[in-house]
Amino acid sequence: MNHGLIVSVSGMRGIVGSDLTPELVTRHAAALGAWARAAGNPTVVLGRDSRTSGAMFAMAAKAGLMSVGAEVIDLGIVPTPTVQLAVEHHRAGAGLILTASHNPVEWNALKLVGPDGVFLDAQDGAAVRDLAERGPDRVDWAGIGRVREDTEAVSRHIDQVLALPQIDVELIRSKQFRVALDCVRGAGGTIMPALLERLGCHVSAINLEIDGRFPRPPEPVPEHLEELGRLVRDSGAQVGFAVDPDVDRLALVDEHGRAIGEDYTLAFAVQAVLGRNGTGAGLDGSAPVVVANLSTSLVVEDAATSAGAVFERAPVGEANVAQFIQQHGAVIGGEGNGGVMFPQAHTGRDAPVGLALILHLLATTKLTVSGLVEAAPRYSIVKAKVPRRDDLAPIYQRLQSRFADATADSRDGLRLAWPGRWVHLRPSGTEPVIRIIAEAATVEDAEALVSECRNVLDA
């Protein structure tokens, strides 16, 4: 099925062989290389996840980059955050990541990273796409770029996580946590077992093979984590961790084998950071700031505000959240899909950082995962997808009329909010669908909000 190429702020994704081809990858890689070179820094870091199409697209990307005189640093199969950190480490002009993240195996994608290690913003992303459309100038035989490998990027990533002052590594090691792990045969196998070993954990693992043949749908949502839940119960693990293929999202399973939902990942990471810093106040004594996207659960907002932090919401998308984190000087941020962004490490979603923060929280609070959940306010989230349609503006208008008593936010689709509940309707940037996400005190109330939106969409 041809869904068409999906273009986002800082990249594009599609079905391999129909929407996404080696020719397209070569052209856009060349455009990124030319963009970096024009800015005065022709070095581009390249990395990918384990998808079977990755090797093909990596060769295509290297050809495109070399053809415009870019110097390529090839990391091979590594997590997305490892590439972002490597861009900073090498002081590169750009980074290119070949991964479709949580999408099914038939998908792949290009993610474009700027010299600061953060995904390109809308302006720079548009500039690279425009350059790809026009066709960048190629160099002659004497100007062709070179390729060199960096095999130490993952080791550096682990070292950087363990060096974070917010993480009490020795305390975590003293607990000798029993951990279950599911890496979905993605890039997580390159880093997660080694990180857990360095943290003194006893690990039972599944799907560590790095071959891209995903044994389950790769998005780490509760309905996909039944096997990990069984592993937790069978091994007596105290916590289960699951990642997506490029290791920027982290999901948790409690000690009873129950997947608790991705929003708790960020909520617990926020607790770990604000708890470690006391009030978490900034250098000027002001209240700390926590940033999450418009679709993130109230459980994250509650974790922030109950610790005295200011909570800000950004449009969905890592590039948007990163921009808000930088603008507000946030101490932590992320997205409710399990993406933890801790700027003291780097301003990108990073599952290894999230894992270390959560183990720190378990060690310092002496609570179980289920105990942490029980201590948090309870909400129910309902998520639905409907086929994408072109003109959503009239639908947004009808919804605002229907829910005139709600606080409306139209920065990214339409979010309607009331005290203790909200609904968010927006076109996905990763799939050809419209997402409807609602949260309320009960699942019935959340389902009612989704149903109301469906009725307006179908009218």
**What is the bridge-based pairing of β-strands 433-440 and 380-387?**
antiparallel
Greatest extent of the chain over all pairs of C-alpha atoms, in Å: 67
CATH homologous superfamily of 175-257? Alpha-D-Glucose-1,6-Bisphosphate, subunit A, domain 3 (3.40.120.10)
Decide: 125 and 9 in contact? Cβ < 8 Å.
Answer: yes
pLDDT in tens, the chain (459 residues): 445 898 988 899 999 999 999 999 999 999 999 999 999 999 999 999 999 999 999 999 999 999 999 999 999 999 999 999 999 999 999 999 999 999 999 999 999 999 999 999 999 999 999 999 999 999 999 999 999 999 999 999 999 999 999 999 999 999 999 999 999 999 999 999 999 999 999 999 999 999 999 999 999 999 999 999 999 999 999 999 999 999 999 999 999 999 999 999 999 999 999 985 444 555 456 899 999 999 999 999 999 999 999 999 999 989 999 999 999 999 999 998 999 999 999 999 999 999 999 999 999 999 999 999 999 999 999 999 999 887 899 999 999 999 999 999 999 999 999 999 999 999 987 788 999 999 999 999 999 999 999 999 987
Q: In which residue ranges of the chain is CATH 3.40.120.10 found?
A: 6-153, 175-257, 262-378
- Residues annotated catalytic, as ranges: 101
Cα angle value 316/79/349 (rounded, 5°): 30
In terms of Cβ atoms closer than 10 Å to its own Cβ (0-12, 13-18, 19+), residue 285 is exposed
| CA angle (124 as vertex; 118, 125 as ends), nearest 5 | 85
DSSP 28-94: HHHHHHHHHHHTT--EEEEEE-S-TTHHHHHHHHHHHHHHTTPEEEEEEE--HHHHHHHHHHTT-SE
Give pTM, 2 decimals. Answer: 0.94
User: What CATH fold (topology level) applies to the domain 262-378?
Assistant: Alpha-D-Glucose-1,6-Bisphosphate; Chain A, domain 3 (3.40.120)
Domain 6-153 of CATH type 3.40.30.10: no
As given in the structure block, the two tokens for residue 199 are 């943290």
Query: Concatenated DSSP letters for 395-408?
Result: HHHHHHHHTTTSEE
Domain 380-458 has CATH 3.40.50.450: no
| Of 277, 288, 320, nearest in space to 121 by CA | 320
Question: Cα separation of 302 and 308, whole Å?
Answer: 10
Q: How far is it, in rounded angstroms, from Cα 450 to Cα 425?
A: 9
| CB burial string 100-121: b at 16+ within 10 A, e below | bbbbebbbbbbbbbbbebbbbe
What is the crossing angle of helices 351-365 and 263-276, to 10°?
Answer: 60
